[in-house]
Amino acid sequence: MTRRFPPLSPKCPHFLHGGDYNPDQWRHMPEILDEDVRLMKLSGCNAMSTAIFAWTALEPEEGRFEFGWLDNVMDKLADNDVYVVLATPSGARPAWMARKYPEVLRVGADRRRILYCVRHNHCYTSPLYRRKCAIINRKLAERYKDHPALILWHISNEYGGECHCELCQDAFRNWLKKKYDNDLDHLNRAWWTSFWSHTYTDWSQIESPAPHGEMHLHGLTLDWKRFVSDQTIDFYLNEIKPLREITPDIKITTNLMGTYLGIDLRKFAPHLDVVSWDSYPSWRAATKEDVELASSVAFHHDLNRSLRSGQPFMLMESTPSVTNWQLVPKLKRPGLHFLSSLQAVAHGSDTVQYFQWRKGQGSWEKFHGAVVDHCGHENTRVFRDVAQVGEALKKMDCIVGTTTPAEVALIFDWENAWAIHDACGPRREKKDYLPTCVSHHRAFWKRGIPVDVIGMDDDFSRYKMLIAPMLYMIRPGVADRIEAFVRAGGTLVATYLSGITDENDRCHLGGFPGPLRKVLGIWAEEIDALYDDDRNHVVMTPGNPLGLAGESEASIFCDLIHAETAQVAATYRDDFYAGRPALTRNCFGTGAAWYMASRNEEKFLQAFYDELAAHLKLGRALDTDLPEGVTAQMRTDGSRVFVFLMNFAQEERTIVLGKGKFRDLLADKELPGRVTLPCYGCFVLERG
Ligand code: GLA
Ligand code: ZN
């Protein structure tokens, strides 16, 4: 069955290539617009995210709007076949507004209101700010609704942070009243407030977490994070209301920030028409570091693609050269810009967008990478790198709208991350939820096996295998759905520190892993925390179902478990728990549930997942073994298959392509069965 998603806009059935464009900073040099357009065409750029921080240019004083300069920009771009991803300006507000209406300014957890400064620091509750945003957004929509350049809305910029003002405190209390049916006893029980005599007797006693206030009541800290997330989304919904009304056919996105923990992005995604995100990895030009980093970036791309069930996402920002706020803004080595841009496409992006188009002359980001540098012309290495990406994207129209056929899903869940972060135990540091998820994902990335990164409330039934590292919090209904998945033939892999708490972060009673105990067939009695240098060892049991042998290192966490209905596949070698189970497999229905009791080294994860992948016959991009540093990712519409072969190592690598015919899409020629990729090399192939 062919399955292709529609392009981001019917006006432009191609990859979008471009970036953040701030002509509002250059109004005193009007001649620069023609030059920008010339350079856009030369670099193969066809889409600009425009006016992201232009509020003062659009409304220089309250109620007086100036759109002339933006009309001019939009017209000029349209005349030259450059499309506009038009922003709403709430990410930064005018000084006049902050002076006149201090309520728009955020109050920190320390209860101090900020002075007017920087950006991304408004109150999400302020009725005044919401009104001001709705007014200017309505004006933008009315003015540009039929403009040929407009293809997409870019709402605000990188929503994040929290406000603790009185308006927000009240909104929080109201949110709690709704959640707990106006029943304070219900809240007290959910939050376990009898601990340290913290029982609330009136709603007004509840305050948001503060460094000089409450930080230890996990029910409170968890609900506060949920509230901040919901309030941010509610603010966004207020922003988009006039746009939905006036431009119902123009898709809406906002630039998210990967695994940013301040907002539950899985709750945000259903309100977007397209997911987009900003990616700024710190490349090192060293094989080990870059390969690890590349796999982490891959994880984030997979997550963004999975936020809307495989629909292509947008790489909204990336740097064409340096990222000035990084401690060491290293130049991108030759080839790396092409590779890292195509990496996003390989995982499902239908765009390559940059921050920023032209380097500003002053202020904080004057040294941030840009397509057009201060020299102002096209004769730069960076410009040529960007033009090379533009050239390639033009040859890839056939990939637009395709998706990734993952048979494996890995759970990364925001609320779970919050609860693990708050927990005082079983170690204070090195809980490392995200890096642990990335390390499990890496085993598949190295083999070219596509993986979706989903939440615990998502549908599991479309996958053959479900990996749930450190599923500490189990919300109601999740365990039943996991059981149903395994019973129906699915393979589950769970680890130490799973099934510990409920949705209020209270421990499950009756033995860990709580509601997963039955499907996993084990009881986790205690968990040992290891000092950083401590090691235990995991020894494979002879005759284990994967046929694995030998031993490997375990560190940080070792669960002391009892196999109940599960079969033991490996045991601990050392310490007082030597000989006790370290890896188990429980046959359940027609599927199987594995439990990895300790944090294991990468060698173990790779061997374990390689065997499982072979048993389950998981599809991979290429039917071949990939050398260290090389990955292969695939996109398909169900009939045509496109493979991205990428080398993140510092040395060249030779790859035997395996069975089938391969066409190099960029060079438009058949490839031999064996190809060599230079350092940072990348091929885009069609698999015949
Ligand atoms: C973020 C912002 C941009 C810019 C870049 C710089 O992603 O959205 O406006 O500040 O960082 O890296
Ligand atoms: Zn506030």
Could you report the per-residue pLDDT of 70-111, keeping only the tens digit for each?
999 999 999 999 999 999 999 999 999 999 999 999 999 999
Shortest-distance atom of ligand 1 to CA 52:
9
Ligand showing the shortest atom-to-Cα distance for residue 319 = 1
Rounded-to-integer distance, Cα 239 and Cα 256, Å: 16
The CB of 157 under 6 Å from ligand 1? The reply is yes
Could you report the per-residue pLDDT of 444-464, keeping only the tens digit for each?
999 999 999 999 999 999 999
pLDDT of residue 291: 97
Shortest-distance atom of ligand 1 to CA 280:
12
The CB of 50 under 6 Å from ligand 1? The reply is no
pLDDT confidence band for 3 (50 / 70 / 90): confident
pLDDT of residue 592: 98
Rounded-to-integer distance, Cα 644 and Cα 5, Å: 19
Pocket test for ligand 1, best of 278, 324, 354, 357 (most atoms within 8 A of CB): 278
Place of tokens 């920002």: 317
Shortest-distance atom of ligand 1 to CA 324:
12
Could you report the per-residue pLDDT of 502-514, keeping only the tens digit for each?
999 999 999 999 9
The CB of 355 under 6 Å from ligand 1? The reply is yes
The DSSP letter of residue 64 is B
Q: Are 203 and 181 in contact (CB under 8 A)?
A: no
**Half-sphere exposure of residue 634, counting CA atoms within 13 Å on the CB side?**
23
Rounded-to-integer distance, Cα 129 and Cα 503, Å: 33
Length of the chain in residues, anyone?
688
Q: Are 284 and 427 in contact (CB under 8 A)?
A: no
Could you report the per-residue pLDDT of 357-378, keeping only the tens digit for each?
999 999 999 999 999 999 999 9
pLDDT confidence band for 1 (50 / 70 / 90): low
Shortest-distance atom of ligand 1 to CA 319:
12
**More confident call, 112 vs 1:** 112
pLDDT of residue 660: 84
Q: Give catalytic residues, as residue numbers.
A: 158, 317
Shortest-distance atom of ligand 1 to CA 364:
10
559: its two tokens:
């669960």
Question: Could you count the other beta carbons within 10 Å of the beta carbon of residue 77?
Answer: 27
The CB of 158 under 6 Å from ligand 1? The reply is yes
Percent of the chain's residues with pLDDT above 90: 99
pLDDT of residue 2: 67
558: β partners = 528, 598
pLDDT confidence band for 659 (50 / 70 / 90): confident
SS3 label, residue 585: strand
Q: Which of 106, 618, 134, 115 is nearest to 406 (CA)?
A: 618
Q: Give me the mean pLDDT over the 52-56 stretch.
A: 98
Q: Give the orientation angle of helix 381-394 with respect to helix 336-346, to 10 degrees.
A: 30
Take atom 12 of ligand 1 and give the residue whose Cα is closest.
323
Q: Where are the alpha helices (DSSP H) in 46-155?
A: 55-58, 68-79, 95-100, 127-144
Take atom 3 of ligand 1 and give the residue whose Cα is closest.
355
- Residue 437, C-beta contacts closer than 8 angstroms, at least 6 positions apart: 299, 410, 411, 412, 453, 469, 470
Could you report the per-residue pLDDT of 522-557, keeping only the tens digit for each?
999 999 999 999 999 999 999 999 999 999 999 999
Intra-chain end-to-end CA distance of the chain, in Å: 17
11: CA distance to ligand 1 center in Å? 27
Q: pTM of the entire structure? A: 0.98
The CB of 154 under 6 Å from ligand 1? The reply is no
Rounded-to-integer distance, Cα 597 and Cα 593, Å: 13
Rounded-to-integer distance, Cα 637 and Cα 405, Å: 9
162: CA distance to ligand 2 center in Å? 8
| Strand duo 551-563 + 522-529: pairing | antiparallel
Pocket test for ligand 1, best of 355, 363, 371 (most atoms within 8 A of CB): 355
- Provide the mean pLDDT of the chain: 97
319: CA distance to ligand 1 center in Å? 9
Could you report the per-residue pLDDT of 161-171, keeping only the tens digit for each?
999 999 999 99
Ligand showing the shortest atom-to-Cα distance for residue 167 = 2
| Strand duo 598-600 + 349-354: pairing | unpaired
Ligand showing the shortest atom-to-Cα distance for residue 124 = 2
Rounded-to-integer distance, Cα 637 and Cα 645, Å: 18
Ligand showing the shortest atom-to-Cα distance for residue 53 = 1
Given a cut of 70, whether residue 407 has pLDDT beyond it is yes
355: CA distance to ligand 1 center in Å? 6
Could you report the per-residue pLDDT of 189-239, keeping only the tens digit for each?
999 999 999 999 999 999 999 999 999 999 999 999 999 999 999 999 999
